[in-house]
Structure formats: C-alpha cells, structure tokens
Amino acid sequence: MTSLKRSYAADPSAQNLSSKVYVRSTKSGKVQKIVRELYLRQDIPCSSRLCSRCVENAPTDYHNKVSPFVLSETPAGTKSFPQGHYLVPDTNALLTAMDLFEVETAFRDVIVLQTVLEEVKNRSLPLYHRLISLTKNEDKRFYVFFNDFRQETYVVRDAGETINDRNDRAVRKAVQWYSQHLQAAVKARRSGRTPAVVMISDDRENLRKAEAEGISALSLSNYVSELENANQLLDMVSERREQRDNRGGKVELLYPEYYSISKMMTGVKAGTMHQGIFNVSQYNYLEGSVHVPAFERSLLILGRENSNRAVSGDVVVVEVLPKDQWKAPSSKVIEEEEFNKDDNPDVEEGEAVVTDRERRALQEEVKRVQGKGVEGRPQPTARVVGVVKRNWRQYVGHIDKDSVRTSNRESRAQQTVFLIPMDKRIPKIRVRTRQAGELLGKRVLVTIDSWDRESRYPVGHFVRSLGELESKGAETEALLLEYDVQYRPFPKTVLDCLPAEGHDWKVPASLEDPGWRGRRDLRDLLVCSIDPPGCVDIDDALHARQLPNGNFEVGVHIADVSHFVKPNNAMDKEASMRGTTVYLVDKRIDMLPMLLGTDLCSLKPYVERYAFSVLWEITPDAEVVNSNFTKSVIRSREAFSYEQAQIRIDDASQKDDLTKGMRTLLMLSKKLRQKRMDAGALNLASPEVRIQTESETSDPVDVQTKRLLDTNSLVEEFMLLANISVAGKNYSAFPQTALLRRHAAPPRTNFEELQNQLKVKRGMELRTDSSKALAESLDTCVDPQEPFFNTLIRIMATRCMMSAEYFCSGTQAYPEFRHYGLASEIYTHFTSPIRRYADLEAHRQLAAAIDYEPLDPSLRSRSKLEAVCKNINVRHRNAQMAGRASVEYYVGQALKGRVVEEEGFVMRVFSNGFVVFVPRFGIEGLIRLRDLGTPEPEGEFDAENYVLRVRGSREVNVELFEKVKVRISDVAEESTGKRKIRLELL
C-alpha cells in the first residue's frame, strides 16, 4: 500500500520554494484565503554597474535581451557618505515625499524594493503609478529590486509578527544584502570605492533597529538636510499627521466625521444617500452643488460645515437635508477673501468652522429665501457625509502676504502661511515653509496633503516656485499647470519616432515606393488651403471641379498624420496623453513635434504631401451623390488666409481654374449651410476676440473682436461634411468601436432660468423642445434698437448647453449619437489630425475601413477606446479653458494702465452686485454694490423682475439685459494675484 506523502521533502528544488498565504475580503464581504507559490531565486541582479557577477547570470527575455543595468558606478554622495550612496527608501518615505523623489537634481540611484512597491500600491495607486514612471525615467536611475523573490533577501513572517514589522525587516535585510554584495563586487574589481547603501525611513523604530543591526539608515529630513538646496527640498515633504497631533492634547474637532465606506455604499444603494461630483460655484465659495441622477436639479450644498472638507472636483456622497432647510441658489456674490482675511494660519485652537461674518452672510440668504413664495423655488440642499475619491491635484497660487510672520528673506525659520489658489473655488491651503520671505510675490505650486477634522483649511506642501507674479513666463506656466496641459518639451524617445530625413523628407518620387501603396495620385488637382492668417499647421485643403455630367467633384484633403504616427509607439502615446494642441495667445503647445505639425504633415503649398482625401460627387443643389475615401498624394497650389481667399473670390477679374473652383466651393457651402440650418442646426455665439500683439515683444497692444467672412464658413461647411461622411463610414465598418462625437440635447431645466428672464424682461419666448425650435426662437429674440442683444442671448444660451463629447460607438444607442448643435445624426472629428488626437484615431479607423491597412488592436478594444475618449474629453475642455484664460490675461495686459469707457450689458444680477459683459473686449466683470460708492449703498433685490435697486450713497436701478456704460481699468486682484480688469458703472 502506498501512501501519499507530502511531496516537498523529496523534491530537490523544495528549498527554493516557499508559499505565501494571505487572506483577503471580496467586495461582497466574503473572506478568501489565497495560497500562492513563491519561487526563490539567485539570478535577480543587483543592477549596479559595479557588479560583474550579476551581469553574467542576468536574466534574458524571450528575445534573448538583457535589460541594462541601472545604478551608476559613481553615485552622488553627501557629507556623511562621501563615497557615494544608493538610496533604499522605506514605504513611508515614498508616501510622504514622492514630490521630493521626483526632483531632477537629487535622488538618483534609488533602489525600490518589491516589498516597498507593493506597500505603496496598497496605500495609494496614484503614488504607485508615479513611482513606476520614475523607474522608467532613465536619468533618475531608479531600480526595482524584487527582494521577495531573491533567496538571500526573502524574509519569512514570524509568528506574531505584524505585517509591517515583517516588511520593515525585509527592507533592512535587503539593505544589508546589498551592501555586502557591493563590497564583494568592488573587491572583485579591485578598484574604486564602495558606495554606501542607505535606508531612508521615517519610522523611528525601524531606524533604531537598523542602527542596532549596523545598517546605515537616515530619516528623510536628516538626509535632505545634507543636500544642497535643503530648505527648498524640505518644504516638499508632506505635512505629516503626527507633527500636528502632538501639538497639545485636546484639539477641537471642527468638522463632522465621515461615514464609513460600507455605510455610504449601503446608503447609496438604498437611495438614502447620493454620490456625485462636488462643484463649487464660481461666484460664491460657500455654495457647492452636486448633480445626482435621482434629482433633476443639482443638490445644493451650503456652507463649510455641510461641504465638510470636500474640495471642488471630489467625488462625494451626500445626504439630503430635511425639506425645511431647502433653499434657492444664492443670489449673492461671496468671496472668501473678503470674509476671512484675518485668519491666522498658525492658530488652530479657537477656530470655528464658520466665522461670524460668514454666518451672517448665510443667515441673510435664508431669510430672503424663506420670505419668498413659490417663485423662489427652493432647491433641495444636502450635506457631504463622505468622500469617495479625492481629486486633488497640484494647485497654483500665491502666498497671502498677511499670513507671513517675518518676510525677512534670510529667515530660515519654519512658519505656516496661507496659499491662495488661483482657482477661486479652492479653499486657502495651509503650507509650512522655511522660505516664506522668498516666496512672497511669486507664483507657487503646491499640493494638498490632507484635510483633517480639526483644521479649518486643508494642509499642503510646497512643490516649486514658478516665478514672479505677473511675469509672462510664470503666468503662462501657471495657466498650463492649472489646466493640466503637458507643456514639457518632447522627450527623446518621442523624437526618435520621427522620420530620419527630418525636414528633407519628401514624398518618394518613384511610384513603386511602399509609401505609394494604396495611394491615389491627386497631384494634378487644383487644391488650395484656407486658414487663419499666419497658420503653419495646415490640416486641410480643398478643391472642386465640374464633372462632365454637370455635377461637381469636391475634395477635402486632410494631412495624413497617421502615416507618420504609428499606433502605440512613444510618439503616439505622448500625443494621446496630450490629446490636443493648446493655443494660447502667444504660444502654441503642440500635440505632435514641430517637424510633423508644421512641416511634414502640414499641407503646405507648392510641395507634395501625403493626404487622406474625402471625395464627393455633389449636385449643383448640394446633394451628395456619393462619397469616396482614399489615401492620396496632393500638391497644394496656394495657401490662402480667409481674407485673401475672400478677396480673390470677389475679384471678378480672376478667371483662372483655381478661383473658379473656390467660387464653386463657396456656392456649394452656402447651400450646405442653408440645409443644415433648415435641419435645425444652431447658430451659437461665444465672445471671441483677437489680441493684437507687437510683433517683436509679443506684448499685447490692442484687442479686436474676430470678424467672420464667408470663407470662414466655406471651410467650416466642408469640414463638417467630411466629418459627417467619415463618421458614417467608420460606424458602418466598426459598429462597436467607432470613435464618434456627440452633443447631447440639453435638459429642459438648463434653460428655465433664461426662459424666465426673457419672458419677464422682454416678453419673449424661448422654445427648447428641439434644436430646430430653439434655433428659430433664438432668431426671434431681437431688439431692434440693439443689434447686439441677439448675440448676448445666444452667448447666454450657449452656456446652458451640454458640452459635446467624444465617445465610443458601442457605449451608446444610435439615437444618442446625435449632435444637437449641428443637427446631425452622427458626427466625428476627422479634419484636424495635427492638433487633435481624436482625428488621428478616426484616420486610423477610416484607413482600416477602406482596407488600406489593418486596424491596430487598441482601436478595436472598447475599453481602451473609452479610456482614450475620457482623456481627450478632459484635455479638450482644459485646452479650451486654458485658451480662454490666456485671452483673459492678455486682455488684462492690453488694458494695463489704460482707462476706457465702453458699453456693456447686464448679464446677471445678484443681490449685492451684477455682472456686466463688454462685447468690445469680450470680457465680463462683476460690479459689486460696494464698488458703487462709499459707504456701501443699500441694495434692494427684486428677484422676480431681475432688478437691483440701489439706494443710499448712489441711486440707480440695474436691470437684467440693460445697456450700461462702464469704465474699464485694470487692477491686480488681491485674491488670485491675477491682473484683472475692473469695471465701474458710470
């Protein structure tokens, strides 16, 4: 009889085999016990260039390649380690000071242990991803050492040992092994000095044990203090909890505690709580709103206590307050700066969450709301009971000069100061710094570390200084950071993907060249491009000619970017991350490297270029007979600006074929436009201005509103047509994974306010049941005396719309594809691949749809496309906002030191102020009661009629839509440090 024995003993490899048993609980609350094998090995290299032994038995991958060794032979040293050192950070060091490790000038040659990496992943995924990207940065020389798989450094958890203690022990063991290993390696080389292996930890117990075991170890601050720019670096360490905890036993808890995750989850499931994104009002920092599916209108969150440490952008769980506490949204402008000027950043005791002045401001609100009848329409209010996900990012701001104790530059004493973010919706951030004096008057980047119950403001730490306030460099960088625009130069890996010929690249002369495969030769067509003046990245070109049957052949030729940017290479990844080119007033942040964007892809005149062409046969009535897609080679005959093109078309003496083609295009475009309008496309307006700059210094001189010519809409119409045609083709080829763009119909409630305003003030009706009805009723909103009135209404209507978004066709039902604004069933972006990533993806899909090349799998996977869509949606929005902010900044600069009187229109009325829009500069500004005169005049706000009656030191009635005269001057705004325009009522 044989028996089944435990098989390990007999196995010679058993000594290398260990197992890992751990328990985890699933989402549904079940507890699972997981048993995993662990194969311990001896061929995990130390990755130090000093070591020759590890090189010999370094592992190879499937392609027989060895990964290069990372750690330098001569690492940098400090005073205590003149021979140089490798750093081994402990988990807590990485968690508190990731910013520090990312500094370019220090923290090189770092060994990240597997134990630490796993712990970091457990604690914070974003930090984990940052750490992983650090290991990929060649300059930083970070190496991940899999200590738990190496026989010598593997540590078995002792009975009764906590997992943390075990991990600390594993770290120490690895450090010990490394130093012995390096000593042996150096001895074998018989040269040089042995770098020290230094553990960086903030755990006192761990440091003590390390010392006892003879391992060199330092706390983070001790280590940093020996570096060159220690003061600056020390500020980058996160504010830690314990530092504040030990500041006197009793701390007053200012905010209610968050509910536990499970309580929130059950609450959300049961419908007693709601989850959504917390948004703070631009005008009133005490009023937030959360849109949840259960309520048609957003839930209001009033006051600090109710918003309970949520920061704008966080995903929160809220609980609806009883009905008697429901309120109408505030009609008052409340800015933090006015109310809490005198807070002292150092004093924490005796702080109340709501200061008296704030309370009074809120109180008045409540009274006003309850005094009103049905008209006030109280909105449900809620309070935040927990935060599901923090969406904290890095914030740009400036140090509040009143909060600085000693502004002495030499003082190195640490003090706590307030940072006032540029974004008004973000609360002040308390920052501890040793360089307060130096940072005054500078743009500063900080991150928030935590916001505890006992602290009124969140606590953060300094990241870096961008430069002087109001200097062009600092303000532009601030703007880019604030809108998360990637503006660093392209890394080498990206530039390596460019064609080796550089600017000398040409369309191959021989038709046998693989580049010509599947391409049509359209070089003899009379193609031209029409763009804004000074445009260098020419995405599109057009042509039209008459066919023998009386119809027209019209072609839209788009730069063939997908020929140069292959899926999944470094350049493609960079472009997909950037998502779009960002246009600022004086600067363009490209999505693709210059060489492609402005030369090789750009459809410049007189040279041959690869293109992706859409060719239609169109009847003289602008009906599309058929459409055809092909990769091609074109030679643009001329690059026009809108104005030049207009002049050429209007000039009757020009009778050449090119001009005739352009006239045909113009004629067809007008008919196309009419058709679109008939279908219910909206003609919306947004204030657009152009900044004229001095050519050399690019300092702004003047501001002009943009002019629209016929040729603008000529190009636009054909681009729309191309986009629509391509969308249809891609969708039919890839019903599940076509990348499309949709514009959802706005919910009726969005227009309620505007409808009511129009009815009360002008007796006009705005119908919103369909885009056609809206377009028609917008046309009727005309004031014969005031031509601008219609535009104003259109601007306001635009703001009520949803924003258009990219999506993957499999995620929505076909009726949801609709583009509301363009009144098209289906739409995508195809025509600007140089500056938008979505277009590039559409190009790839179209190329696959016409069997030009196989589709990359990343474009076939719905989940991947969804991720791409999500990113480009965000990037697109950010780019728009950054562009607008840039215009705003330059308008401010252009008006600097000037005083202008202009006409403006009242756009919005609050109980203590009103917003005026000045069409001439495309700016809107707030005029508060206290700006009207001193002492602050009394204001009586008639919400039903949108009238603010001002009495007292100044007597005037301000009505909505009223035309007013304002004086525009500029002022450096205290609260955000921006130079802003100031409006005064005349």
Partner 1 sequence: MPLDTSTYSLALLRLDGRRWNELRRIHAQISTQAAADGSSYLEMGNTKVICTVTGPAEGRRTAQGAGQECRVEVEISIAGFSGVERKRRGRADKRTQEMQHTLTTAFTSTIFTHLYPHSTITLTLHVLSQDGSLLAACLNAATLALIDAGIPMSDYLCACTAGSTANEDADEPLLDLNGLEEQELPFLTAGVLGDNDKVAVLMLETRVRVERVEGMLAVAVDGCKRVRGILDAVVRAHGRRIVEEGV
The interface with partner 1 within residues 843-902 (CB under 8 A) comprises: 857-858
- Smaller CB separation from partner 1, 118 or 903: 118
Q: Residue 2, interface with partner 1 (CB under 8 A)?
A: yes
Does residue 890 contact residue 585 with C-beta atoms inside 8 Å?
Answer: yes
Closest to partner 1 by CB, 19 vs 262, is 19
Q: In the bound complex, what is the minimum distance in angstroms from residue 30's beta carbon to partner 1?
A: 7
What's the one-letter identity of residue 918? Answer: V
* Residue 62 binds to partner 1 (criterion: CB under 8 A): yes
State both tokens at 984: 């005064």
Least distance in Å: CB of 49 to partner 1?
17
Closer to partner 1 by CB, 154 or 806: give it.
154
Smallest separation, CB 147 to partner 1 (Å): 11
Residue 16 CB, shortest distance to partner 1, in Å, is 9
Does position 15 interact with partner 1 (CB under 8 A)? The reply is no
Question: How many Å apart are CA 774 and CA 507, to the nearest integer?
Answer: 49
Of 1-9, 99-107, 581-589, 727-735, the window that binds partner 1 (rule: CB under 8 A) is: 1-9
The reply on whether position 41 binds partner 1 by CB under 8 A is: yes
Binding mask 86-115 for partner 1 (x = CB under 8 A): ----------------------------x-
**What is the helix (H) or strand (E) element at residue 268, kind and residue range?**
helix 261-270
> Which of 150/383 has CB closer to partner 1?
150
Q: Is 34 in the site for partner 1 (CB under 8 A)?
A: yes
Which x/- pattern, by CB under 8 A, does the window 556-575 give for partner 1? ------------xx------
Residue 41 or 506 with smaller CB distance to partner 1: 41
Nearer to partner 1, 60 or 549 (CB): 60
How far apart are CB 68 and partner 1 at their closest, in Å? 12
> Considering only 54-62, 497-505, 710-718, 764-772, which stretch makes contact with partner 1 by CB under 8 A?
54-62
The one among 25, 27, 29, 32 contacting partner 1 by CB under 8 A: 32
Q: How far apart are the first and last CA of the chain?
A: 108
Q: What's 736's DSSP letter? A: T
Which token pair is 106?
């220090």
Cα–Cα distance, 713 to 209 (Å, whole number): 74
Residue 775 parent element (H or E)? helix 771-780
Q: How many CB atoms lie within 10 A of CB 139?
A: 7
**Which stretch in 26-34, 632-640, 732-740, 742-750 sits in contact with partner 1 by CB under 8 A?**
26-34
CB of 119 to partner 1, least distance (A): 10
**CA–CA separation, 543 vs 553, rounded Å?**
8
Specify the DSSP class assigned to residue 600: I
Residue 947: strand pairing partners: 942, 959
CB 646, min distance to partner 1, A: 48
Q: Give dist(CA 724, CA 657) in Å, integer.
A: 28
Q: Which range touches partner 1 (CB under 8 A), out of 37-45, 180-188, 743-751, 817-825?
A: 37-45
Q: Does 577 bind partner 1 (CB under 8 A)?
A: no
Tokens of 841: 């993806």
CB of 261 to partner 1, least distance (A): 16
CB of 676 closer than 8 Å to CB of 724: no
- Provide the β-strand partners of residue 629: 614
Binding-site member from 52, 57, 59, 532 for partner 1 (CB under 8 A): 59
- CB under 8 A: which stretch of 56-64, 479-487, 879-887, 912-920 binds partner 1? 56-64
Q: How far is CA 401 from the centre of its chain?
A: 29
Min dist CB 565 to partner 1, Å, is 15
Q: CA 876, CA 11: separation in Å to the nearest integer?
A: 60
| 536 SS3 class | coil
Beta-strand ranges (E) seen in 17-104 are: 17-25, 31-39, 85-89
Question: Tokens 């063991």 label which residue?
Answer: 173
Rounded-to-integer distance, Cα 704 and Cα 691, Å: 6
SS3 track for 611-662:
EEEEEEEECCCCCEEEEEEEEEEEEEEEEEEHHHHHHHHHCCCCCCHHHHHH
Please give the Cα distance from 930 to 953 (Å, whole number).
10
Residue selected from 25, 27, 29, 37 as contacting partner 1 according to rule CB under 8 A: 37
Among the listed residues 25, 27, 29, 30, the single contact to partner 1 using CB under 8 A: 30
Residue type, 968: I
Q: Considering the rule CB under 8 A, would residue 44 count as an interface residue with partner 1?
A: yes
Q: How far is the CB of 167 from partner 1 (least distance, A)?
A: 12
Helical segments of 194-248, H only? 204-212, 220-225, 230-234, 241-245
In whole angstroms, the minimum distance from the beta carbon of 660 to partner 1 comes to: 49
Among residues 72, 77, 106, 135, the one that binds partner 1 under rule CB under 8 A: 135
At residue 743, the 3 state secondary structure works out as strand
Select the span of 34-42, 410-418, 433-441, 770-778 touching partner 1 (CB under 8 A). 34-42
Looking at 451-594, which runs of residues are DSSP E strands? 459-468, 519-521, 527-531, 540-546, 552-559, 582-583, 588-589
Q: How many residues bind partner 1 (CB under 8 A)?
A: 43
Instruction: Looking at residues 138 to 157 of the shown chain, list those that interact with partner 1 (rule: CB under 8 A).
Output: 144-146, 148-149
For residues 805 and 874, is the Cβ–Cβ distance under 8 A? Answer: no
The shares of helix, strand and coil residues in the chain, as percent rounded to the nearest 5, are 35, 25, 40
**Of 27, 29, 36, 655, the one binding partner 1 by CB under 8 A:** 36
46 binds partner 1 (CB under 8 A): no
Q: Which of residues 112-131 bind partner 1 (CB under 8 A)?
A: 114, 117-118, 121-122
SS (H, E, C) 116-171: HHHHHHHHCHHHHHHHHHHHHCCCCCEEEECHHHEHHHCCCCCCCCCHHHHHHHHH
- Angle, vertex CA 484, rays to CA 691 and CA 870, nearest 5: 110
Comparing CB distances to partner 1, the nearer of 51 and 823 is 51
Which of 63/492 has CB closer to partner 1? 63
How far apart CA 581 and CA 570 sit, in angstroms, is: 17
Q: How far is the CB of 681 from partner 1 (least distance, A)?
A: 40
> C-alpha 77: how far from its chain's center?
38
Strand partners, 429: 419
Q: Where are the alpha helices (DSSP H) in 657-742?
A: 657-678, 710-733
- Residue 659 CB, shortest distance to partner 1, in Å, is 49
Q: What's the closest the beta carbon of residue 390 comes to partner 1, in angstroms?
A: 19
48 three-state secondary structure: strand
Residue 11 binds to partner 1 (criterion: CB under 8 A): yes
Question: Does residue 177 belong to the site contacting partner 1 (CB under 8 A)?
Answer: no
Q: Which is nearer to partner 1, 2 or 785 (CB)?
A: 2
Using the rule CB under 8 A, give the single segment among 10-18, 102-110, 355-363, 776-784 that binds partner 1: 10-18
135 versus 619: smaller Cβ distance to partner 1: 135
Q: Is 814 in the site for partner 1 (CB under 8 A)?
A: no
Helical ranges in 784-933 per DSSP H: 788-800, 837-849, 862-894, 929-932
**Taking CB under 8 A as the rule, does residue 270 contact partner 1?**
no
Cβ at position 31, least distance to partner 1 in Å: 10
Decide: is 64 part of the binding site for partner 1 (CB under 8 A): no
In the complex, the smallest distance separating the C-beta of residue 149 from partner 1, rounded to whole angstroms, is: 4
Give the binding site for partner 1 (CB under 8 A): 1-2, 4, 7, 10-11, 13-14, 17, 30, 32-41, 44, 59-63, 67, 114, 117-118, 121-122, 132, 135, 144-146, 148-149, 568-569, 857-858
